[in-house]
Chains A and B, each alone.
Chain A
Amino acid sequence: MDYYLLTVCIYVVVGIIACWGLNLQFGETGVLNFAAVLFVAVGAYTASLFSLGHPTPASYQQYFWGTSLPWPLPWLAAGVAGGALGLLVGLLVLRRLRGDYQAMVLLVVSTMGTYLVSADPGLLNGSIGLASIPAPFKSELHTGQVGYELFYLGLSVVTALIIFEVLRRINASPLGRVLRAVRENEQAAEAVGHNVAATKLMVMVVGGAVAALAGAIEVQFIGAWAPAGWTYPETFGLFAAVIVGGRGNLGGVAVGAFLVQGLFLEGTVLLPNFGNPDVIGAVQWMSLATLILLFLWFRPQGVIPERQRRFREGQPGPLRGLLPAQAFARVGRGQQNA
């Protein structure tokens, strides 16, 4: 039971990190990143390639390239790869298309990624996927399985805390306010001087790097990664967590990830088997869709809503300071008229 609980805890931490990445994009900036799971997958594959070692012809699995670097380099490489994917996808999608079309193209990109990896076994071992991905420090630590999982959970939590601090700083800063403004009204944000396309590109890069880190943590824990684990519906599991927890609130999203990834999805796994073996999986997705609908209808702000910002009292300054000097081309006209 300890083993199972620790495993679920690590999955929850991974889910929280992935949802934080999506929250930056969707919750704070309004980018409907329907390719969210693709970023997790890119992180997982990158961490795998940076830890598996060089591929050999005699190996039971094929991949186009690999090396073996010590931790944390595979995780860092995953973050860089996620950011690079965010930049690439963002450049292709965000500049010319409107929000709903961006979402459609991102969904297509995600599906293309799954098909591409599945279709070419020489790339990342096709639909069978990669296995035997080394776990960091496992051979050095002689702690047994439960002890190692405890260690890995600690490593994941420390990483999550660092990511939390980065995202909290963004959220609390004037930049966070700009992101929320873009989410609320892109046209108005542009009209007051913010480059909306560049802002969205930035959140695709940062959010993509965060989601990729989640993938790296997950893959080095479970030791295997295959296309079946990152099909496009998985993205909606992440969206469900963000919506249920509370868009734009890091704490809320963490609660949402715990509720959806930990309790809801894991809970349905514990249901007794009935009928066709596929029924449980179908029930899982139908329940998830229902959960999203219920929250969107009855509590769109989520379990923990976005914080309402208040500003402390300040001393009023001179009225003449309200406008720049250039604005006063006809200084004193009011007095003249009077």
Chain B
Amino acid sequence: MPENSVVSQQQVPAAVSPASAGQDGEPLLRVAGLTVRFGGVVAVDDLSFGIMPGTAVGLIGPNGAGKSTALKVIGGEVKPTSGAVLFDGVNLAGRPPHVAARHGLIRTFQLGGEFARLSVMENLLVAVPRLRGQSIWGALAGRRWWAAAQDAEVRRARDVLSRLDLTDKCDAYARDLSGGQRKLVEIGRALMARPKMLVLDEPMAGVNRSLARHIEEALKALRDEGLTLLLVEHELGSVERLCDRVIVMAEGRQIADGDMGQLRSREEVLRAYLGGG
């Protein structure tokens, strides 16, 4: 693991200037002092970390640790009580999810993230940003206005499907696919959005072993090509194989940060997550 791929909690200042983030040598994603309170419950407590471009980072922890809430804040679904989410130099904290997506931060869902009554190809094409014909005026201009641009994206989508071994499912409705295939469609859709970073919420959850391995291989290939990944996953073997670095959360707080080898020997991690060793 390259030294400079790790940005520890200590390296991230409490308040980060948007202008300073996202440039060369800077983290692509920087979470600073993130706190989320639901009434009296603190779901995420002063979470801070950075993710360098081209690295894969795992976010693990026992149920209720605040991982999914942290992911929702990063993706824009939940507004933080305080703190910043700096992505490529822009503070996305409290901005709606489509703004995060338009900046290149694309997330997938733990359950039911597909468009059920759209074909697999349509699922992918929906994610193409700023495609001609997606505006009302572009649509009214007619097929001639957008057909060529769409054809190019259809070719790109076929490449994505071929890479995910979903070519034969191209025209099938997403609702007719297995759970694992739907997760693959989500990953393919995320790629069509031209992401700078993928945020994946338990991509292997509820998927049979063979498809889980397939999803893992697909993510590994993307990681090897240099796509930045943030992954919440309970399957620790996958996390170890996929991630350069792992952040451990418990009771809303970040309790450790390092590679899986280091984390296995940390007592607080064993106590909180690995069952006391």
Contact = CB atoms under 8 A, between A and B. Distances in A.
B122 to A, nearest CB: 6
A89 B201 CA distance: 35
A184 B118 contact: yes
Given A314-B151, A333-B226, A192 B101 contact: yes
Given A175-B135, A193-B127, A308-B171, A327 B159 contact: no
A190 B97 contact: yes
A166 interface: yes
B156 A322 contact: yes
Interface residues of B, number: 77
B158 interface: yes
A279 interface: no
A192 B54 contact: no
Interface string A219-237: 0000000000000000000
A329 B146 contact: no
A144 interface: no
A181 B101 CA distance: 15
A174 B132 contact: yes
A189 B55 CA distance: 26
Interface in B129-183: 129, 131-136, 138-140, 142-143, 146, 150-152, 154-156, 158-160, 162-163, 170-171, 173
A196 B158 CA distance: 27
A324 B126 contact: no
Contact of B127 (A192, A202, A206, A328): A192
B193 A193 contact: yes
A330 B54 contact: yes
Contacts of A173: 133-134, 138-139, 143, 146
A195 B225 contact: no
B54 A317 contact: no
B98 A190 contact: yes
A315 interface: yes
B139 A329 contact: no
A193 B225 contact: no
A308 B224 CA distance: 36
A325 to B, nearest CB: 10
A323 B194 contact: yes
A185 B128 CA distance: 16
A24 B186 CA distance: 26
A116 B200 CA distance: 50
Contacts of B158: 314, 316
Interface residues of A, number: 51
Nearest to A185: B115
B121 A194 contact: no
A136 B125 CA distance: 46
Contacts of A195: 96, 98
Nearest to A328: B226
Q: Which of B129, B139, B195, B223 has the most chain A CB atoms inside 10 A of its CB?
A: B139
Contacts of B151: 314
Given A174-B133, A175-B139, A188 B115 contact: yes
Interface stretch (B35-43, B106-114, B204-212): B106-114
B225 A327 contact: yes
Q: Which of A310, A319, A329 has the most chain B CB atoms inside 10 A of its CB?
A: A329
Closest 4 CB pairs of A and B: A334-B224, A329-B54, A330-B54, A329-B53
Given A173-B139, A190-B101, A331-B226, 18 more contacts: A174-B133, A185-B116, A188-B113, A188-B115, A190-B77, A193-B106, A193-B127, A194-B98, A194-B126, A195-B96, A308-B119, A309-B171, A314-B155, A317-B156, A324-B195, A327-B194, A329-B54, A329-B228
28 contacts: A170-B136, A170-B140, A173-B143, A174-B132, A174-B150, A175-B135, A180-B122, A181-B115, A188-B109, A188-B114, A189-B115, A191-B97, A191-B108, A191-B113, A192-B127, A192-B192, A193-B102, A193-B127, A306-B117, A309-B119, A311-B121, A314-B151, A316-B158, A319-B159, A327-B194, A327-B227, A327-B228, A330-B53
